[in-house]
Protein backbone atom coordinates (compact mmCIF):
# COMPACT_ATOMS: atom_id res chain seq x y z
CA UNK A 1 0.00 0.00 0.00
CA UNK A 2 1.24 3.48 -0.90
CA UNK A 3 2.88 5.42 1.93
CA UNK A 4 1.14 8.63 2.96
CA UNK A 5 2.95 11.57 4.53
CA UNK A 6 0.15 12.89 6.76
CA UNK A 7 -3.59 12.80 7.26
CA UNK A 8 -6.19 14.74 9.17
CA UNK A 9 -9.95 14.53 9.66
CA UNK A 10 -10.99 18.11 10.26
CA UNK A 11 -13.93 20.30 11.12
CA UNK A 12 -13.91 23.38 8.89
CA UNK A 13 -15.77 26.66 9.29
CA UNK A 14 -16.84 28.80 6.35
CA UNK A 15 -17.94 32.32 5.59
CA UNK A 16 -21.42 33.07 4.26
CA UNK A 17 -19.86 33.15 0.79
CA UNK A 18 -18.45 29.65 1.22
CA UNK A 19 -14.78 30.53 1.84
CA UNK A 20 -13.02 28.32 4.39
CA UNK A 21 -12.02 30.34 7.46
CA UNK A 22 -10.27 27.69 9.55
CA UNK A 23 -10.03 23.93 10.06
CA UNK A 24 -9.68 22.04 13.36
CA UNK A 25 -7.86 18.69 13.39
CA UNK A 26 -8.23 17.05 16.83
CA UNK A 27 -6.03 14.06 15.96
CA UNK A 28 -3.68 14.62 13.01
CA UNK A 29 -1.64 11.62 11.93
CA UNK A 30 1.92 11.62 10.64
CA UNK A 31 2.78 8.73 8.30
CA UNK A 32 -0.41 6.74 8.98
CA UNK A 33 -0.06 3.00 9.37
CA UNK A 34 -2.25 -0.06 9.86
CA UNK A 35 -5.95 0.56 10.43
CA UNK A 36 -5.69 4.29 9.72
CA UNK A 37 -3.90 3.72 6.41
CA UNK A 38 -6.52 1.20 5.35
CA UNK A 39 -9.37 3.55 6.28
CA UNK A 40 -8.06 6.39 4.12
CA UNK A 41 -6.62 4.39 1.24
CA UNK A 42 -9.52 5.18 -1.11
CA UNK A 43 -9.58 8.91 -0.40
CA UNK A 44 -8.21 11.24 -3.06
CA UNK A 45 -5.01 13.15 -2.41
CA UNK A 46 -5.50 16.66 -1.08
CA UNK A 47 -8.65 18.02 0.56
CA UNK A 48 -12.07 16.42 0.14
CA UNK A 49 -15.46 17.09 1.73
CA UNK A 50 -17.02 14.06 3.40
CA UNK A 51 -20.23 13.50 5.32
CA UNK A 52 -20.60 11.99 8.78
CA UNK A 53 -21.31 8.52 7.43
CA UNK A 54 -18.13 8.51 5.34
CA UNK A 55 -16.15 9.84 8.27
CA UNK A 56 -17.27 7.25 10.82
CA UNK A 57 -14.80 4.51 9.87
CA UNK A 58 -11.96 7.01 9.50
CA UNK A 59 -12.77 8.72 12.77
CA UNK A 60 -12.86 5.41 14.62
CA UNK A 61 -9.44 4.49 13.27
CA UNK A 62 -7.94 7.90 13.96
CA UNK A 63 -9.68 8.51 17.31
CA UNK A 64 -10.63 12.10 16.51
CA UNK A 65 -14.08 12.04 18.05
CA UNK A 66 -15.80 14.36 15.58
CA UNK A 67 -17.52 12.05 13.07
CA UNK A 68 -20.76 12.11 15.06
CA UNK A 69 -20.95 15.90 14.98
CA UNK A 70 -24.34 17.27 14.00
CA UNK A 71 -24.52 20.48 12.02
CA UNK A 72 -27.00 23.26 12.64
CA UNK A 73 -26.07 25.07 9.42
CA UNK A 74 -23.81 24.88 6.41
CA UNK A 75 -21.01 26.91 7.94
CA UNK A 76 -19.29 23.80 9.34
CA UNK A 77 -18.23 20.76 7.34
CA UNK A 78 -16.12 17.67 7.84
CA UNK A 79 -13.10 17.57 5.55
CA UNK A 80 -10.43 14.94 4.99
CA UNK A 81 -6.92 16.04 4.11
CA UNK A 82 -4.59 13.40 2.73
CA UNK A 83 -1.05 14.55 2.02
CA UNK A 84 0.76 11.88 0.04
CA UNK A 85 4.00 13.91 0.13
CA UNK A 86 5.28 16.96 1.97
CA UNK A 87 4.62 19.24 -0.99
CA UNK A 88 3.82 22.96 -1.12
CA UNK A 89 0.52 23.95 0.50
CA UNK A 90 -2.40 23.92 -1.94
CA UNK A 91 -5.35 25.18 0.13
CA UNK A 92 -6.49 26.42 3.54
CA UNK A 93 -7.18 22.97 4.98
CA UNK A 94 -3.68 21.78 4.09
CA UNK A 95 -2.20 24.87 5.77
CA UNK A 96 -4.12 24.17 8.96
CA UNK A 97 -3.14 20.50 8.97
CA UNK A 98 0.55 21.38 8.81
CA UNK A 99 0.16 23.96 11.58
CA UNK A 100 -1.54 21.28 13.71
CA UNK A 101 1.30 18.83 13.01
CA UNK A 102 3.72 21.35 14.50
CA UNK A 103 1.67 22.23 17.59
CA UNK A 104 0.85 18.57 18.26
CA UNK A 105 4.64 17.96 18.38
CA UNK A 106 4.46 15.55 15.47
CA UNK A 107 6.93 17.63 13.43
CA UNK A 108 9.76 19.91 14.50
CA UNK A 109 10.03 23.51 13.27
CA UNK A 110 11.73 23.81 9.86
CA UNK A 111 10.94 20.19 9.03
CA UNK A 112 7.83 20.87 6.91
CA UNK A 113 7.38 22.41 3.47
CA UNK A 114 5.33 25.53 4.24
CA UNK A 115 5.59 27.12 0.81
CA UNK A 116 2.27 28.75 -0.04
CA UNK A 117 1.05 29.12 3.53
CA UNK A 118 0.47 32.88 3.37
CA UNK A 119 -1.36 32.64 0.06
CA UNK A 120 -3.77 30.04 1.45
CA UNK A 121 -4.41 31.37 4.95
CA UNK A 122 -7.22 33.95 4.86
CA UNK A 123 -7.02 37.07 6.98
CA UNK A 124 -9.76 36.51 9.56
CA UNK A 125 -11.33 38.37 12.48
CA UNK A 126 -10.83 36.14 15.53
CA UNK A 127 -13.70 36.86 17.88
CA UNK A 128 -15.50 35.61 20.98
CA UNK A 129 -17.82 33.61 18.69
CA UNK A 130 -15.06 32.23 16.49
CA UNK A 131 -13.61 33.31 13.14
CA UNK A 132 -15.56 35.82 11.06
CA UNK A 133 -14.77 36.87 7.52
CA UNK A 134 -13.50 40.46 7.40
CA UNK A 135 -16.28 41.60 5.07
CA UNK A 136 -18.90 40.12 7.44
CA UNK A 137 -17.47 41.69 10.59
CA UNK A 138 -19.35 45.06 10.51
CA UNK A 139 -22.70 43.26 10.27
CA UNK A 140 -21.72 40.87 13.08
CA UNK A 141 -20.73 43.77 15.36
CA UNK A 142 -23.98 45.62 14.62
CA UNK A 143 -26.05 42.51 15.22
CA UNK A 144 -24.37 41.95 18.58
CA UNK A 145 -25.12 45.51 19.72
CA UNK A 146 -28.74 45.23 18.62
CA UNK A 147 -29.02 42.11 20.78
CA UNK A 148 -27.45 43.92 23.76
CA UNK A 149 -24.33 41.81 23.41
CA UNK A 150 -20.66 42.58 23.04
CA UNK A 151 -18.72 40.88 20.26
CA UNK A 152 -15.08 40.77 21.28
CA UNK A 153 -12.60 41.00 18.42
CA UNK A 154 -9.30 39.64 19.67
CA UNK A 155 -7.26 39.89 16.48
CA UNK A 156 -7.40 40.36 12.74
CA UNK A 157 -4.76 37.99 11.45
CA UNK A 158 -3.98 34.95 9.33
CA UNK A 159 -2.96 32.85 12.33
CA UNK A 160 -5.16 32.06 15.34
CA UNK A 161 -3.83 31.46 18.82
CA UNK A 162 -2.64 27.93 19.40
CA UNK A 163 -4.62 27.04 22.52
CA UNK A 164 -7.96 27.34 20.72
CA UNK A 165 -6.89 24.30 18.69
CA UNK A 166 -4.06 22.54 20.54
CA UNK A 167 -3.00 22.58 24.21
CA UNK A 168 0.27 20.65 24.55
CA UNK A 169 0.81 18.68 27.74
CA UNK A 170 3.21 19.87 30.41
CA UNK A 171 3.41 23.58 29.53
CA UNK A 172 2.59 26.89 31.17
CA UNK A 173 1.41 29.82 29.03
CA UNK A 174 0.82 33.10 30.82
CA UNK A 175 -0.77 34.91 27.83
CA UNK A 176 -2.24 32.52 25.28
CA UNK A 177 -2.70 35.26 22.67
CA UNK A 178 1.08 35.36 22.19
CA UNK A 179 1.40 31.76 20.96
CA UNK A 180 0.34 31.27 17.34
CA UNK A 181 -1.01 28.01 15.96
CA UNK A 182 1.96 26.22 14.46
CA UNK A 183 4.22 26.93 17.43
CA UNK A 184 6.05 23.97 18.98
CA UNK A 185 6.18 23.94 22.78
CA UNK A 186 8.06 21.02 24.32
CA UNK A 187 7.20 19.45 27.64
CA UNK A 188 8.26 21.52 30.64
CA UNK A 189 8.23 24.86 28.80
CA UNK A 190 7.07 28.05 30.49
CA UNK A 191 6.11 31.07 28.39
CA UNK A 192 5.68 34.17 30.52
CA UNK A 193 3.40 37.15 29.78
CA UNK A 194 5.78 38.93 27.39
CA UNK A 195 7.01 35.73 25.74
CA UNK A 196 6.03 35.15 22.10
CA UNK A 197 6.32 32.06 19.91
CA UNK A 198 5.56 32.33 16.20
CA UNK A 199 4.39 29.57 13.88
CA UNK A 200 7.13 27.17 12.68
CA UNK A 201 9.18 28.13 15.72
CA UNK A 202 9.53 26.58 19.11
CA UNK A 203 11.03 25.75 22.44
CA UNK A 204 11.98 22.08 22.56
CA UNK A 205 11.54 21.96 26.33
CA UNK A 206 12.11 22.44 29.11
CA UNK A 207 12.61 26.18 28.59
CA UNK A 208 11.88 29.54 30.15
CA UNK A 209 10.62 31.96 27.49
CA UNK A 210 10.25 35.63 28.43
CA UNK A 211 11.27 36.96 25.02
CA UNK A 212 10.45 36.49 21.34
CA UNK A 213 10.98 33.31 19.35
CA UNK A 214 10.60 34.36 15.71
CA UNK A 215 9.48 32.21 12.79
CA UNK A 216 11.97 29.47 12.03
CA UNK A 217 13.83 29.78 15.35
CA UNK A 218 14.27 26.90 17.81
CA UNK A 219 15.33 27.04 21.44
CA UNK A 220 17.13 23.95 22.70
CA UNK A 221 16.45 22.05 25.89
CA UNK A 222 17.33 23.85 29.10
CA UNK A 223 17.80 27.27 27.51
CA UNK A 224 16.43 30.55 28.87
CA UNK A 225 15.28 33.48 26.73
CA UNK A 226 15.26 36.50 29.03
CA UNK A 227 12.73 39.30 29.32
CA UNK A 228 12.26 41.20 26.01
CA UNK A 229 15.09 39.22 24.40
CA UNK A 230 14.58 38.41 20.73
CA UNK A 231 15.78 36.11 17.99
CA UNK A 232 16.12 37.11 14.34
CA UNK A 233 13.71 35.09 12.21
CA UNK A 234 13.96 34.31 8.52
CA UNK A 235 10.87 36.44 7.80
CA UNK A 236 12.26 39.60 9.41
CA UNK A 237 15.80 40.22 8.29
CA UNK A 238 17.41 36.85 8.89
CA UNK A 239 17.70 36.04 5.21
CA UNK A 240 18.01 32.33 4.52
CA UNK A 241 19.74 31.51 7.81
CA UNK A 242 17.68 29.55 10.32
CA UNK A 243 18.58 30.79 13.77
CA UNK A 244 18.79 28.10 16.42
CA UNK A 245 19.86 28.29 20.03
CA UNK A 246 21.36 25.16 21.49
CA UNK A 247 20.93 23.53 24.87
CA UNK A 248 21.56 25.20 28.23
CA UNK A 249 22.01 28.70 26.82
CA UNK A 250 21.08 32.03 28.39
CA UNK A 251 20.04 35.06 26.33
CA UNK A 252 19.90 37.92 28.80
CA UNK A 253 17.11 40.46 29.17
CA UNK A 254 16.81 42.81 26.15
CA UNK A 255 19.52 40.83 24.35
CA UNK A 256 19.28 38.85 21.13
CA UNK A 257 21.04 37.01 18.35
CA UNK A 258 21.15 37.02 14.58
CA UNK A 259 23.47 34.00 14.40
CA UNK A 260 22.87 30.38 15.45
CA UNK A 261 24.36 29.39 18.78
CA UNK A 262 25.62 26.01 19.94
CA UNK A 263 25.25 24.67 23.47
CA UNK A 264 26.06 26.43 26.76
CA UNK A 265 26.28 29.93 25.30
CA UNK A 266 25.47 33.19 27.09
CA UNK A 267 24.75 36.67 25.74
CA UNK A 268 24.79 39.36 28.41
CA UNK A 269 21.74 41.53 29.02
CA UNK A 270 21.17 44.28 26.46
CA UNK A 271 23.61 42.92 23.88
CA UNK A 272 22.32 42.01 20.39
CA UNK A 273 24.69 39.93 18.28
CA UNK A 274 24.37 40.41 14.50
CA UNK A 275 26.19 38.49 11.79
CA UNK A 276 28.38 41.38 10.64
CA UNK A 277 29.38 42.56 14.11
CA UNK A 278 33.10 42.57 14.95
CA UNK A 279 33.87 40.26 17.88
CA UNK A 280 37.11 40.22 19.86
CA UNK A 281 38.13 36.70 20.86
CA UNK A 282 39.91 36.63 24.19
CA UNK A 283 41.69 33.90 26.09
CA UNK A 284 41.38 32.97 29.75
CA UNK A 285 43.75 35.83 30.67
CA UNK A 286 41.71 38.48 28.86
CA UNK A 287 44.22 38.91 26.04
CA UNK A 288 42.73 39.56 22.60
CA UNK A 289 43.69 36.72 20.26
CA UNK A 290 41.91 37.93 17.12
CA UNK A 291 38.89 39.81 15.82
CA UNK A 292 36.28 38.06 13.67
CA UNK A 293 32.83 38.69 12.26
CA UNK A 294 30.13 37.15 14.42
CA UNK A 295 28.98 34.93 11.53
CA UNK A 296 32.28 33.05 11.84
CA UNK A 297 31.20 31.91 15.31
CA UNK A 298 27.81 30.63 14.16
CA UNK A 299 26.84 27.33 15.76
CA UNK A 300 29.80 27.11 18.11
CA UNK A 301 29.35 26.11 21.75
CA UNK A 302 30.65 27.40 25.10
CA UNK A 303 30.74 31.08 24.18
CA UNK A 304 30.19 34.05 26.48
CA UNK A 305 29.38 37.35 24.71
CA UNK A 306 29.94 40.49 26.78
CA UNK A 307 30.83 44.15 26.29
CA UNK A 308 34.21 45.48 27.34
CA UNK A 309 33.31 48.29 29.70
CA UNK A 310 36.57 50.14 28.99
CA UNK A 311 36.54 50.37 25.19
CA UNK A 312 33.02 49.25 24.24
CA UNK A 313 34.22 46.33 22.12
CA UNK A 314 32.17 43.16 21.94
CA UNK A 315 34.11 40.32 23.50
CA UNK A 316 33.68 36.57 23.26
CA UNK A 317 35.11 34.42 26.02
CA UNK A 318 34.90 30.67 26.41
CA UNK A 319 32.07 29.78 28.73
CA UNK A 320 32.19 26.16 29.88
CA UNK A 321 29.67 26.49 32.66
CA UNK A 322 26.24 25.31 31.52
CA UNK A 323 23.27 27.44 32.48
CA UNK A 324 21.02 25.33 34.70
CA UNK A 325 17.31 26.15 34.83
CA UNK A 326 15.40 25.92 38.05
CA UNK A 327 13.77 22.47 37.86
CA UNK A 328 10.80 23.60 39.94
CA UNK A 329 9.79 26.12 37.25
CA UNK A 330 9.23 23.34 34.76
CA UNK A 331 7.10 20.87 36.69
CA UNK A 332 3.71 21.29 34.99
CA UNK A 333 2.05 17.98 35.71
Ranges assigned E (strand) in 202-287: 202-203, 208-209, 212-213, 218-219, 224-225, 230-231, 244-245, 250-251, 256-257, 266-267, 272-273, 278-282
**Could you confirm whether 135 is annotated as catalytic?**
no
Work out the number of other CB atoms within 10 angstroms of the CB of residue 111.
13
Buried b (16+ CB within 10 A) or exposed e, 214-247: bbbbbbbbbbbbbebbbbbbbeeebeebbbbbbb
CA 80 – CA 27 distance, rounded (Å): 12
Reduced to 3 states (helix: H, G, I; strand: E, B; else coil), residue 296 is helix
Cβ distance 315 to 308 under 8 Å? yes
**Phi, psi torsion values for 130, nearest 5 degrees:** 100, -170
Among 210, 247, 287, 324, the one annotated catalytic:
210
Catalytic residues: 210
Amino acid sequence: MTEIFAFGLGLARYSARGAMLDCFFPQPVLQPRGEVLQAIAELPAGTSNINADQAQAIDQAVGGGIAGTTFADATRKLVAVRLDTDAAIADTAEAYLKLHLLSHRLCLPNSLNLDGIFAHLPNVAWTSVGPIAIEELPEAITKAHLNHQQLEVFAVDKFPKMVNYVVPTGVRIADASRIRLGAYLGDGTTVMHEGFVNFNAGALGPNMVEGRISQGVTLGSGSDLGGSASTMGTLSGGGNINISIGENCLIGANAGTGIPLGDRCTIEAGLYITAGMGISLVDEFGEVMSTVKARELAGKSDMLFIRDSQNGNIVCRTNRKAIELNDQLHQHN
